[in-house]
Amino acid sequence: MNPLFRSSVLALSGWALLGLLSACSKPEAVAAPARPTIAGALITFPGNQDPATLRIASVTAAADHPVALPGRLAWDEDHTSRVYAPYAGRVDRLLATVGQRVQRGQALAVLSSADVGQAQADLHKAEADQALNRGSLARVRDLVEGGVIARKDQDQAEADLARSTAEVNRARARLAQYGVGGAAGGAVTQLLTLAAPLAGLVVERNSNPGVEVRADVAGPALFVLSDPATLWATIDLDESQLALLKPGQAIELVSAAWPDQRFAATVLSLGAAVDAASRTVKARARVANPDGRLKAEMFVTAQVAASGGLPLVPADAVFLRGDSSAVFVPLGSGRFERRKVTVRAAGPQFLQVVAGLVAGDKVVVGGGLYLNQLLDAAP
């Protein structure tokens, strides 16, 4: 037999045998993965095992997770005074500086003012008129008693004395209002001493010797006095967090300067309006600062317990189902139950639970929508 022909026959026989074997073998059927079983609002996963991709979190008590609110410290305006110049003039001398502790009535600065000089001159002229009218009245009385002049002349002299006395009192009160008196001997000094209206610390000074000041032009106070033993904290509340604070409530403040220390504060008031730009409400609290550790304009964080002691659930565990909110609660052994809850805002990361859950309950975080789709897709 031809060798070439023999090789061709063997090759064809091999291919035929291979085709026959291939025709006789059938591929094994791939088993479909087991699907979760649905029973009402309950999902049970195969093998009674929780899916590894689902994260579980706990519902926490309000006391275990305080809400952090940003704030800023400021001077306690109930113990702060801003000293302005009551008259136009020039700063002659400065007697106090920033950081100095002063007592009430202590001199802060001396001004030289033409207006003060005019007020002093008005007082001296009124006193001169008063003295003249007093002498005139004494002479008129003598003449009336002697029958030289009529009684009505005495009445006129008494009225003139009363008017001049009233003018003296007015001029003295005008000067005494700012601690200025008439110079002895009718002299006009034009000097005005600015005195501290309260005891405290000079926390700000906006003047230098020789500077001209005007009372009719708005500007910064020459001196700002305050007692830093107490400070105000202005706290920013999102409009959804209004229920967290109320007047008289005790809170704690934390500062980056003293991270290991808590400062007790008391809420004084809540703002009457929401800021149109930031959508926040300003709350004011007073914090004791006896050792001076806290400083005005320092940023702080207020630690506030959730209102009413309601438990807190992570915001990404709650999803909307129609008009209501719901969560999935793990029951163990691969079972998860959809549960309706009532919640309200408590910040960007948590929601307050009004009904449906209690502290210590477990919830599915981040996978609620997936589980909900499984339930809704079930026949």
3 state SS for 259-320: EEEEEEEEEEEECCCCCCCCCEEEEEEEEECCCCCCCCCCEEEEEECCHHHCCEEEHHHCEE
Confidence (pLDDT) at 18: 46
How far the first Cα of the chain sits from its last, in Å, is 72
SS3 of 66-115: the string is CEEEEEEEEECHHHEEEECCCCCEEEEEECCCCCCEECCCCEEEEEECHH
Architecture of domain 39-65+310-377: Beta Barrel (2.40)
Confidence (pLDDT) at 228: 93
pLDDT tens-place string over residues 168-204: 899 888 888 777 765 555 678 888 888 999 999 999 9
Longest distance between any two alpha carbons in the chain, whole Å: 186
Task: For residue 263, give Cα distances in angstroms to 175, 260, 266, 309.
Answer: 45, 10, 10, 22
The H or E element that residue 230 is part of is strand 230-238
CATH of 117-189, one of 3.30.70.2740, 1.10.3720.10, 3.30.70.890, 1.10.287.470: 1.10.287.470
Q: Report, as ranges of residue numbers, the positions in the chain whose pLDDT lies below 70.
A: 1-34, 65, 181-186, 306-308, 346-348, 379
Class of the CATH domain delimited by 80-113+194-226: mainly beta
Confidence (pLDDT) at 106: 93
Task: Decide if 326 contacts 368 (C-beta within 8 A).
Answer: yes
237: burial class by Cβ within 10 Å (0-12, 13-18, 19+)? buried
Confidence (pLDDT) at 183: 55
For residues 113 and 214, give the distance between their C-alpha atoms in angstroms, rounded to a whole number.
10
CATH number at 67-76+228-305? 2.40.30.170
**Boundaries of every domain in the chain:** 39-65+310-377, 67-76+228-305, 80-113+194-226, 117-189
Task: Decide if 311 contacts 61 (C-beta within 8 A).
Answer: yes
Confidence (pLDDT) at 137: 86
CA 270 to chain CA centroid, nearest Å: 9
Residue 232 forms beta bridges with which residues? 74, 286
Specify the pTM. 0.61
Residue 37 forms beta bridges with which residues? 44
Confidence (pLDDT) at 26: 52
